[in-house]
Structure 1
């Protein structure tokens, strides 16, 4: 039977163009991937570091002949029905012989396979009887990367200081305006991974000064991980993250959020220990961790002792003795001024914890237990505010959780419930389902108490942390054929207690609808509408009304997008985005129009964009993802009036060396200064360049 089947599907393969003619295996269309998978940007946070962290999951290809439903779910690309069909196929016909065999699996259309190709392999790792040192020396996935970025206009922080009335000098940046980043990594899938990352932000000094805890580059991250050493599935030394359950305890920094993909992104996968490679200076463990397997059980243990930035002050205790306390933790990772340098590594954070994970033989049921104990070297006593009185206070915290996932036919159920030292609880329960080959559904409910404390939690929600939130999410995806697709979600949420800038309990909702039309692989058109309603304080209130008066801000976002490949070398992308915002009886609006022209001649690639934008205020800022150098993401928030353009070039000199260069410029027509404080620029334009090189060993 196997032989007859193979003859049949190879006849199908011969009758259609091969993948290699229209797709370069191993490459990721990062722009399309991010815009589909990740949620819409709402703030100017460093999304690039979060995206880079998630992409590390995908840089270790999944072996389709040794995978599990949990691994395939982690790609956010396959529906429950597609995953079921995949394992029914392999159970019936055995291991895949060729990647093209995916075409014979029900519901695996060409579009799905194209998206899947960069993240999967069939062959085993080249793990032979050679020693670890020899495998490290000959690993094909080994590279060194160096990046330089700079804004060429002078910010106020780089100008000579002013003299105050008391004779003191005003604060200025101590370093130069260059941003330097470098990464070295050697890895072999399911065998080992080692490397380091160093980073210097603009304004920071390259200096060796143990007194201020600065040793050359401002930040150094490093890791060494071994995989599959007998019963030891993972052994990690250095910096790492953990991802188990739905992210209430161990979230690993990855959160796709709410976006154009309305089904698969609601669920988190238990991926275990992951190397930490981003340049964010928080949200990771530093120490050792290991996973041991015994039959259907896996046990993970971790021990961490990491430095953290914080504002330290001295207060008198009950016996009138001086005591150092933490009043705030600093997560910016910036050390440019004497004050910022004084906050560097002012405390230590110790963590001890682990996970017990069970998976049945059919791999359709999982259950696990998480536990984490955290301790700061000094007590954490926040500056008291009415909205933060239920936040974490003290020196120690512990959190425990239970989670499960169950795959029943075309339904995938999952959930996690946790409790922290304070008694606060957090819970997530959800379901994904392929109701029909053309219709999928997702539902997720969450409830995070106002005193639920999870330092490494990163579960699904409207807020940036799992605290003080209740919500119900519903997602639908309807794809009647290859050309049309409609995605929709509705999310209703409540905040039972006060929040920053929301000084009363509040509620809101958000929905998104995206209609896509793709008559061929050369053309994609989509129209998207998103509405968000969320309360916040009214800063200007008449008469003697309460200062805690809220109003419901309602924001509408509209996107029209057209991607078209003119031929195998040239492509264009046109986009119009607009928004309106209603708050406290007034209405404002904004828009942006962008045009891309891209060229690809194998060794040479050029990408360019020109944007015109006009917004009434900051609430209507327009976020548009931009192409950038490899593993760097640019999502500027365009507000005010002006234009922006960039050009990005890539040259692959040979098999080992590749170069990238990017030039971008924003010109404002409604202002004579840009930014504020030490970031202020005198003038109406800002210019940035980025240069990057990558050298790949053993190529």
Structure 2
């Protein structure tokens, strides 16, 4: 660590504690507990390296239920679980309680549900209710369209430093077809939870806008029409873009799905089978028609069909019979959604994909069983370049997969799982058990076995890789509340890879563990300590004397503290420290330290949040993902690595009863690097910054 960095850390700490001491002397007010959802997103990014994953769905889901709270006497397990604020065991315990005692008479009855603490109830209170819904139940189609709520969002953003792709050299045109501006537009109409329709459009930086390959304007458009309760039998209808989630994710799981994280009991996928889609992830959704049918309280069916144009790398098939009409295939399917360069534009919509199938569910008093089947076909053959690790991947034009998923509750035990078969005969299975030993102690177990040759459409299964392939393992989790205000969470996961992977040219194994201790002083402050370790194998570096996979070790620790200085002001402080080591290589260590300030004056139509962070790591191997406050329905989870600092500030103004104006500035400064990124994305210099502006309108009946 350089002397300059030590000096900055000292001044940082001195200024913060001086500010806190003066504020504390003025008032001793009460904070809300921090959102577990932020930690879950950070853990997801750490596990999957998905810092750019589209989390907009989560924000939109919570905002929607804040305006239209779920009725606890009618809510389904999938809807309650989709909030992401309760553990799987808490969801099971709530429905066991409701089945035993009948409908709730008051929201405060949640305190009688086993496993529900006051802090848990506080988290879900804005999104649930007991009794009649707060919105009007429209009976006529015309009322559904005339009434309800409307949402319009316009967003502009751009990086303030131009990357290499925007610059011309030697008189040649820039590599990118468009300018650095990013544009986003969204309109949505909703009538309670019964009707939703809208359109979303986006242009990424570097993409053409109303010219070139995008003469139609935006590069990406998405539209949906989603309606519920059309009749006692037809319960759900989705037209246009929608998300589909089957079982435990072995076949299809569109959208966000958590994996291993600090919510150690969160191992079961409980989201609704069908959901509207209104985000900007250009690959993770269905486009077509789907419907949900119900017959009484015991049977439910969901047929679906989808056709999508996907980005892919085209390749000419040399064995084509006719030179006049040559045949093509694709070597890989692209999911970035970027269409800036000539090659990216050529890959756009290069292959068509049909997906069709259905789900049939049978409900019982203590559980359910469901059968799923999915058929898929491409209009060009998928022919990945054969490597030792991928020789069992799907290739060809069409395929299918089928599964059974199931769940059963017996007293304090909840068993669930899914077993699937792909067209080549491979059988994958994922099974879990949630145990409530008493009101303070819960256990979770999850066993999975995914053969190396199992082939699926779009899986997001629980495990190390989430691809339901080439993995077997056992997860064990624990949540214990030994005292009032104290909570201990821990897990241990062991897995084996029976075949090669992209990063390991030999069968391998690994293990991971996490321990977290949280203290919550209700309406005062919250603190937690988290430790996490992992051992796994990867190919030795090019400069290593070994030409085989070698063990790597990673350790991370975190101390987080949040306090409400006043009813309007909250401070959050976090320190991360850890290391990464590889056999025959020097150990890399690193830390991050940040201070957040969140100010929401209740008497002013204004709020702001800001962060200043310092970090010093040995490189990308020692990186830390931190959730950042952003604009409405935006998520930012960047990786902090190398040596430097990061700063951002958000402003939000309520310019009218139904209108908001927001702005955000963020910058990263590196002390030990002279460029960000590589290739067309390279930015020369040690500073990278970005600005965003957004206007939002919410209006209606």
Q: Does 1:352 align with 2:356?
A: yes
Tell me how far apart the structure 2 counterparts of residues 390 and 84 of structure 1 sit (CA, whole Å). Answer: 38
**Paired residue for 1:330, among 331, 334, 340?**
334
Distance in 2 (alpha carbons) for counterparts of 1:635 and 1:386? 34
CA distance in 2, matches of 1:689, 1:283: 27
Q: Deviations over 1:219-257 (max 9, x none)?
A: 011100110111101111001111121111121222111
**Paired residue for 1:302?**
304
Could you tell me which runs of 5 or more consecutive residues in structure 1 were left unpaired when the two chains were aligned.
1-20, 164-168
Q: For the Cα contact (< 8 Å) 1:44–1:636, is it kept in 2? A: no
Q: Tell me the equivalent position of 1:690.
A: 692
Q: Compared with structure 1, are the counterparts of its residues 519 and 306 closer, same or farther at alpha carbon in structure 2 (3 Å cutoff)?
A: same
- 1:117 and 1:197 map into 2 onto residues whose CA distance is 30
The match for 2:140 among 128, 131, 136 is 131
2:202 alignment partner in structure 1: 199
Call closer, same or farther: CA 1:84–1:241 in 2, change over 3 Å: closer
**Aligned counterpart, 2:155:** 147
Q: Name 1:413's counterpart in structure 2.
A: 415
For 1:605-655, what per-residue CA distance to the aligned partner results, in whole angstroms no more than 9, with x for missing partners?
A: 111111111111210122211111111111111211111111111112222
Q: Out of 319, 340, 346, which is 2:344 matched to?
A: 340
Q: Is the 8 A contact 1:80 1:412 kept in 2?
A: no
What is residue 9 of structure 2 aligned with on the other side? none
Gaps of 5+ in 2: 1-28
Does the 8 A contact of 1:125 with 1:190 survive in 2?
no
- Counterpart Cα distance in 2 of 1:138 and 1:269: 31
Aligned to 1:115, the other structure's residue is in SS state helix
Q: Deviations over 1:24-62 (max 9, x none)?
A: 9xxxx8854221476253378554654222445443442
Partner of residue 558, structure 1: 557
Taking the aligned partners of 2:467 and 2:549, their CA distance within structure 1 comes to 22
CA distance in 2 between counterparts of 1:81 and 1:234 reads: 27
CA contact (8 A) 1:38 1:258 kept: no
1:599 aligned residue: 599
Q: Deviations over 1:521-571 (max 9, x none)?
A: 22111111100111100123666x6x3x01111000110111011110111
Of stretches 455-464 and 502-511 in structure 1, the one that deviates more from structure 2 is 455-464
Indicate if the aligned counterparts of 2:351 and 2:380 stay in contact, CA closer than 8 A: yes
Q: How does 1:185-334 map to 2 (within 5 A)?
A: 185-207=188-210, 212=213, 215-230=216-231, 231-263=233-265, 265-269=266-270, 271-295=272-296, 296-317=298-319, 319=321, 322-334=326-338
> Using a 3 Å threshold, how does the CA distance of structure 1 residues 232 and 588 change in structure 2: closer, same or farther?
same
Whole-angstrom CA distance in 2 between matches of 1:245 and 1:326: 30
Aligned: 1:42 with 2:46:
yes
Contact 1:52-1:632 at 8 Å conserved across structures: yes
In the alignment, the residues of structure 1 paired with residue 34 and residue 427 of structure 2 have an alpha-carbon distance, to the nearest angstrom, of 37
Partner of 1:72: 80
1:583 equivalenced with 2:582 (yes/no) = yes
Deviation at 1:422, TM superposition (A): 2.2
Task: Give the 3 Å change call, closer, same or farther, for CA 327–115 of structure 1 in structure 2.
Answer: same
User: What is the CA deviation profile of residues 390-426 of structure 1, one whole-angstrom value per residue up to 9, with x for unaligned ones?
Assistant: 1111011111000101122221110101111122222
CA 1:299 to 1:125, structure 2 compared with 1: closer, same or farther past 3 Å? Answer: farther
Write out per-residue CA displacement over residues 327-359 of structure 1, whole angstroms, 9 at most, x where no aligned residue: 111111000011111111111111111100111
Check conservation: 2:37, 2:85, Cα contact below 8 A. Answer: no
1:490 is aligned to 2:492: yes
Against the structure 1 CA distance between its residues 410 and 55, is the aligned structure 2 distance closer, same or farther, given a 3 Å change threshold?
farther
Question: 2:375 is matched with which residue?
Answer: 373
Query: For the Cα contact (< 8 Å) 1:49–1:279, is it kept in 2?
Result: no
Q: Is structure 2 residue 161 aligned with structure 1 residue 158?
A: no
Let me know the Cα RMSD of the aligned residues. 2.3
CA deviations on 1:456-510 (whole Å, 9 max, x unpaired) are 2111111142111111100001112331111000111111111112111111011
1:367-408 deviation digits (Å, cap 9, x = unpaired): 001111111110111112111111111011111000101122
Map of 1:3 onto structure 2 = none
Cα deviation, 1:40-87, whole Å, max 9, x if unaligned, reads 533785546542224454434422111234443444444576556645
**Which stretch has the larger CA shift, 335-344 or 675-684?**
675-684
Counterpart secondary structure, 1:620: coil
Q: Which residue of 1 aligns with 2:14?
A: none
Q: In 1, Cα distance between the equivalents of 2:79 and 2:408? A: 14
Supply the distance in 1 between the matched residues of 2:464 and 2:87 (Cα, whole angstroms).
23
Distance 1:511 1:428 in 2: 20
- Are residues 561 and 444 of structure 1, via their aligned partners in 2, closer, same or farther at CA, if it must alter by over 3 Å? same
Q: Which of residues 661, 684, 687 in structure 2 aligns to 1:659?
A: 661
Q: Distance in 1 between matches of 2:327 and 2:549?
A: 39
Q: What is the alpha-carbon distance in structure 2 between the residues aligned to residue 650 and residue 338 of structure 1?
A: 38
Structure-1 residue corresponding to 2:570: 571
Aligned length, in residue pairs: 661
Measure, in 2, the Cα distance between the counterparts of 1:345 and 1:213: 13
Deviates more, 1:670-679 or 1:366-375: 670-679
Distance of 1:198 and 1:481 partners within structure 2: 50
CA contact (8 A) 1:352 1:374 kept: yes
Q: Is the 8 A contact 2:30 2:524 kept in 1?
A: no
Deviations 1:129-179 (A, max 9, x none): 542232232213x2111111111011111111346xxxxx47611101011
Q: 2:642 maps to what in 1?
A: 640
The alignment partner of 1:39 has SS state of helix
Structure 1 residues 615, 200: closer, same or farther in 2, change over 3 A? same
